[in-house]
Chains A and B, each alone.
Chain A
Amino acid sequence: MRKLKRYGPPILLISPSLFLIGLFVYVLIFSSAQTSMTDIYTNPQFAGTRPHTFVWFTNFIDLLKDGDFQHSLKNLLLYTLVFITGAMFFGFLWAWLLDKRARFEGVFRSVFLFPMAVSSVAAGVVWRWLLNSNVGDRATGLNRLFQMVGLDFLENKWTNNISFGIVAVAIPAIWQMSGYIMALFLAGFRGIPTELREAARVDGANEFKLYRYVIFPQLSPVALSALIILGHMSLKVFDLIMAITGAKFYPTKVPAVDMYNLMTEGNFANAAAVGIILLLVVLVLIVPYLIHTARGDKR
């Protein structure tokens, strides 16, 4: 009875949220998995006016065998690699440059971070102009800029390249997220106690050793968080592609875009299968991280 009095109110207070998350996350994931194993390929089947049957993993096998979907997976991998590398590189570089007490530090920080406050759709509007694939006399956007500053050899077709078009989409993503990574690393740099650097100096560490043995180890938790955040974001990429090239552009499509097209066609079973595949990919990344941080919590 006393327990009920003590624990009843908090459980009651949190139960609406628990119910909502339980339904909208857990039940729906389960339901998604269920739909992904059916043959609901048309709208009437989805509405329940036509029958459907259970087909086990047929949809998954078909998707993974399909060359078009493989192209999406390959694009996603390529995008993730370029995006993470780029954002980590510039984020770290800017933080490193700013950590040395640059003049107008606040201005630099604000400008580097501002793209994050802009929606991917708005960013997509201007980046589609910048990534215009015209070259030569008809060039606009970055290609024209390259001509103007004498870097003509950099002119290229951007998103119009069937194998590497997706890399062009990673550029605006790097533009948007590098400032965030900078903020993370800057907080990391500032969190390193001055005494630690001093001690290393007194012990005769040179610049290289200082970084290798003092600064990098101190920054590694930050780097890990940054990697997880970026990886997690990049696997969900959707907005930018919809804004820059649209839903029907083969060279730059990724699973999330495929899913949108499948759903608009009424192919709900395959759409759900794509969703589950994305979930599995994200889980591989997130679950170790969650376990890692949960362990850290207990200590």
Chain B
Amino acid sequence: MAVDTSITQRSGDTGRIVGKRFDWGRPVRFIILLFFLIVVLIPVYVLLVTSFKGIGDAQAVRAWDLPQVWTLENWKSAWQGTPGLPAVAPALARTALMVVPAAIISSFLGSMNGFVLARWRFPYSNIVFTLLLFGMFIPYQAVMVPLYRLVLSMQTTLHLGVGIPSLIVLHVIYGIPITTLIFRNYYESVPQELIEASRVDGAGMLRTYAWVVLPISIPSFVVVLIWQFTSAWNDYLFAVYFGGNAASQAPVTVTLNTIAQGSMLANYGAAMAGALLASLPTLIVYIFLGKYFVGGLMSGSVKG
């Protein structure tokens, strides 16, 4: 069967001649894969096509057809907003202002924690690590009610801004476990001798961190930054509880859902265009830095 030959090819030494016989498995597998590729891309087709459709294309019969007239109307109304529906453009700017500081701050915290927990251990540091890690596994619903109270009081007593500033704080704090995990795993692969050598040379912890560890941390920083960027950008749970007003304070996921729920009956086009606009930054990151994105996925999943 199909499976048989390819394994023979891989190991190469079972003595069977593979090249002579045509391997039907390959084209069959390829066609199956192609079928799934098309299925997975169906939503993309729908998003693109619908976003360029005008009112004239609204009949159900034409749902899957290309637009009769290609129009930028939907893109314009999603970008600028319409009476009754918030605009995506300022929401994108607000979200960028949220994710960039959140990603940078939590990366540095994670890097320091990871360094200490992997290479400058102290008594019970493993227990401390497990306690930190636990924060990654809780459903945030378990803290949402008192968190709501806490954030409200931080907003009044510490003058923490509603919306983006509050969300930065939350993404930094709840990002600590995952960023610590990724950095700790990375630093475990750094030879202890390197740290010891620096110690013998009389360098303290901070100096070792700054001069020996930080310079070799760049690959991990890329992974963690991308991870935090993507998860904060796509977050809806914190955004809907703490984002404030969709038109003037909230990140783009809240704005987008407001558009989508609002334009339900009238016209899907604007919501589709808005969804594409809102997804563009993370998709660009995925397309150009996909390797690191997958790196983050892997380290986020397989612990230890």
A17-69 CB contacts (< 8 Å) to partner B: 17-18, 20-21, 24-29, 31-32, 35, 46
Interface string of B202-226 (1 = CB under 8 A from A): 0011100000000000000000000
Flag whether A121 is at the interface (Cβ < 8 A). Answer: yes
A194-228, CB under 8 A of B: which get 1 and which 0? 10011001100001001000000000001001100
Nearest opposing residue in chain A for B236, CB measure: A239
* Interface band, chain B: 35 or more
Mark the stretch among A78-86, A123-131, A150-158 that contacts chain B: A123-131
B253 & A236 in contact (Cβ 8 Å cutoff): no
On whether A9 and B204 interact (CB within 8 A), knowing A175-B40, A282-B139, the answer reads yes
Contacts of A271 in B (CB 8 A): 144-145
Nearest residue, chain A, Cβ from B180 = A17
B210 to chain A, nearest CB (A): 12
Listed residue (B11, B123, B174, B274) with the most chain A CB atoms within 10 angstroms of its CB: B11
- A145–B176 CB distance below 8 A: no
| Bound complex: CA A260 to CA B123 (Å) | 42
Q: How far is the CA of A74 from the CA of B272 in the complex (A)?
A: 32
Tell me how far the C-beta of A286 lies from the nearest C-beta in chain B, rounded to whole angstroms: 5
- Within 8 Å CB of B2, what residues of A? 100
Task: Give 13 CB contacts A-B under 8 Å.
Answer: A21-B132, A28-B147, A90-B36, A110-B287, A114-B286, A122-B275, A123-B43, A175-B40, A179-B40, A183-B297, A225-B302, A255-B141, A279-B141
Which A residues form the contact surface with B (CB < 8 A)?
6-7, 9-11, 13-14, 16-18, 20-21, 24-29, 31-32, 35, 46, 90, 94, 97-98, 100-103, 107-108, 110-130, 134, 137-141, 144-145, 148, 175, 179-180, 183-184, 187, 194, 197-198, 201-202, 207, 210, 222, 225-226, 229, 232, 235-236, 238-239, 242-243, 246, 255-256, 259-260, 263, 268, 271-272, 274-276, 278-279, 282, 286, 290, 293-294, 296-297
